[in-house]
Amino acid sequence: MARIILLGFKDNDAAEAFIRDMDRIQSLDPVSSSLMGELGVITASAGKVEALVARPTLTCKCSSTGMHQGKKTGAGFTKTAKFGWWVHAKCRRPTSYIVKNFITNMLNGHNDLLPELRESWQPKEENVDPDMATSENDQTPTQAPEETQTSQGETREVQV
């Protein structure tokens, strides 16, 4: 079993700084202690722990036999008292769909802004046509030089 901590931030900039710092810390080896300190300051000053949720990691194996539908055992699904998970009544485990899509199910139809936020931090890759060159001075695209043959049969580049 895992845990999910739901943090709330009234300040959008603090929330985004928290996520950015978490991403940076988790990608560093070794971890920067100053960055961890900054993350702690942001969390303590602007964050509020809103909820702690248990996340299931083990799945029902009965589903492959159809027993989870109650056809063979009469057992269906039941909600656990401690965690509030919907589990198969016989084995007391959630289906693989519930485990795999736990965060999506928790969002309950709300949009996850995290992928869009992370995408905005990524450097933009420009799709440059290899047949087009950019002049350094004016930043306007110009066509790449073409090869042409002279009357003597020589090949040379000509700017168009």
DSSP string, 41-96: HHHHHHEEEEEEEEE-----SGGGGTGGGTTTTS--EEE-TTT--EEETTT----H
More confident residue, 97 or 156: 97
How far apart are the C-alpha atoms of 14 and 19, rounded to whole Å? 9
30 confidence band (pLDDT: 50, 70, 90): confident
Give tens-digit pLDDT for 118-152.
Answer: 998 876 665 555 555 444 444 544 455 555 555 55
Do 9 and 46 contact (CB within 8 A), yes or no? yes
Q: What are the sequence ranges of the domains in the chain? A: 1-55, 57-115
**Residue indicated by tokens 């940076």:** 24
How far apart are the C-alpha atoms of 101 and 55, rounded to whole Å? 11
The single-letter DSSP state of residue 126 is P
The single-letter DSSP state of residue 122 is S
Give tens-digit pLDDT for 38-54.
Answer: 889 999 999 999 999 99
Stated pTM of the model: 0.61
